[in-house]
Amino acid sequence: MFDALSDKLEATFKKLRGAGKLSEGNIKDSMREVRQALLEADVNFKVVKRFIASVQEEAIGDKVLKSIEPGQQIIKIVHEQLIKLLGETAVPLAPIDKSPTVYMVCGLQGSGKTTLCGKLALMYKRKKKKPLLVAADINRPAAVKQLKVLADSIQVEHFFLEGKQPPEICHEAVKYAEKNFIDLVILDTAGRLHVDDELMVELEQVKKKTEPDEVLLVADAMTGQDAVNVAKEFYERIDITGVVLSKLDGDARGGAALSIREVTKCPIKLASVGEKLSDLEPFHPERLASRILGMGDIVSLVEKAQENINEAEAIKMQEKLLKAQFDFEDFLEQMKQIKKMGPLDSLMKMIPGAGKALKGVKIDEKGVERMVAIIKSMTIQERRNPLMIDGSRKKRIAVGSGNSVQAVNQLLKQFFAMQKMFHNMGKGKLKGFPRGAMRF
């Protein structure tokens, strides 16, 4: 996410850190670089101007120049100002406290509305709520079907009325929801290539008929300043209550994310980060600011772990590790748990400092697959007691998994080394690696 911007900011701050003593001169130089980096990331120029002015105001003063680590101080100020720019605190969605609560989803063509509707339905279904997905896009013939397929894939109810106009469909959907104990009605509205009057009138009517608790605009982060302008128009015309930034997983440069709040004054509530229905995150200004500055995002990482990893299992595993009782069965289980959290390289980026340390390093997912294949070729007895794997067993495992004996040997060597390390850790022999450090 925003790699080019992150790289440039990190390079600037590295110079500052290396400078030892800071002067107004070198602060000004680095602010020029920050300004350039933001403009290149397609951040709105007025936003950049205000941003730099506020950082400079904070940075140039005795407090920073005389502090012990002036470079660090500047980074702290930029971090704080980025958080401010992104909206300071996370703004949650309207609570699901009525029967039904109504969320209306709107935006331009292809921005990700229908996908978001599916994501919201899945998110609330997991929270034991009953959503209803309403097809209010009658412009594109395939749109109704697309929503129906999504609804079926997550076993959520779907609502549509053939031959009716969107305001009526939505109105009837809310009435249906009232009678059928639906908690959340999600309205998937039509998109257009550009903001036009016809669309706005239709959306206004839908709004009037359904009195939504939340009107979400999906803004495609890949389109930079266009997304910001669209958000501004929607905010002024139909009073949206929140922005959802979509396609943040692609190579968006950051311009939309960093300008939208400041320009529209409308909070960003969610981040859509992939095509899968589970790829939806609450928008946290602080976490995004940290990611942009290469500080990682340990909070999101822990949350991902909590959603996907059973805590009791994790603690049991830690105990096993420290008693050096863990075997290849446990190893497989760990691999499975970690894989549930997502691709390894995107997880690594959330670890503070890892982004930089791993620059250019391609995480070898294939290597991991190879290890798993080798372990799967072992018998249960062999997995539980790897010491019994002798020459002929190694040969069998190698052939069974399509690898060389050398690869099997290497895995065993790594395994025994790991076991020894954990054994020592359990006995407290490894300094600086306290017991409990493995716990999430």
Ligand X SMILES: Nc1nc2c(ncn2[C@@H]2O[C@H](COP(=O)(O)OP(=O)(O)OP(=O)(O)O)[C@@H](O)[C@H]2O)c(=O)[nH]1
Which residues here bind ligand X, judged by CB under 6 A? 107, 109-115, 137, 140, 143, 191, 246-247, 249-250, 272-275, 279
CB nearer to Mg ion: pick between 106 and 407 = 106
Long-range contacts made by residues 309-316, C-beta under 8 angstroms, separation at least 24? 309/337, 309/340, 309/341, 309/440, 310/337, 311/440, 313/337, 314/439, 314/440, 315/439
Closest CA to 281 of 266, 296, 268, 270: 270
Annotate each residue in 113-132 with x if it binds Mg ion (CB under 5 A) or - if it does not, as one string.
xx------------------
Let me know the angle formed at the C-alpha of 343 by 86 and 242, rounded to the nearest 5 degrees. 25
Q: In this chain, which stretch among 100-108, 109-117, 256-264, 266-274 interacts with Mg ion, using CB under 5 A?
A: 109-117
CB atoms within 10 A of CB 84: 15
Q: Which does 111 bind (CB under 5 to 8 A by kind): Mg ion, ligand X, none?
A: ligand X
Q: Residue 142 CB, nearest distance to ligand X (Å)?
A: 9
CB nearer to ligand X: pick between 120 and 322 = 120
Q: Which does 273 bind (CB under 5 to 8 A by kind): Mg ion, ligand X, none?
A: ligand X
Q: Which does 233 bind (CB under 5 to 8 A by kind): Mg ion, ligand X, none?
A: none
Q: Residue 430 CB, nearest distance to Mg ion (Å)?
A: 54
CB nearer to Mg ion: pick between 173 and 309 = 173
Is the previous residue joined to 141 through a cis bond, with omega within 30 degrees of 0? no
Q: Which residue is nearest to ligand X (CB)?
A: 191
Which tokens hold the place of 7?
């790289």
CB nearer to Mg ion: pick between 217 and 321 = 217
Helix/strand/coil percent split, the chain, to 5: 60, 10, 30
Q: Residue 368 CB, nearest distance to ligand X (Å)?
A: 24
Q: Residue 147 CB, nearest distance to ligand X (Å)?
A: 8
CB nearer to Mg ion: pick between 114 and 210 = 114
Q: Residue 350 CB, nearest distance to ligand X (Å)?
A: 18
CB nearer to ligand X: pick between 6 and 111 = 111
Q: Is 272 in the site for Mg ion (CB under 5 A)?
A: no
Q: Residue 275 CB, nearest distance to ligand X (Å)?
A: 4
CB nearer to Mg ion: pick between 78 and 136 = 136
C-alpha to C-alpha distance for 218 and 113, rounded to whole angstroms: 6
Strands (E), 72-119: 101-106
C-alpha to C-alpha distance for 234 and 212, rounded to whole angstroms: 15
Asked if residues 142 and 193 have their Cβ atoms less than 8 Å apart, the reply is: no
Asked if residues 220 and 167 have their Cβ atoms less than 8 Å apart, the reply is: no
Q: Which does 401 bind (CB under 5 to 8 A by kind): Mg ion, ligand X, none?
A: none
**Contact residues for Mg ion (CB under 5 A)?**
113-114
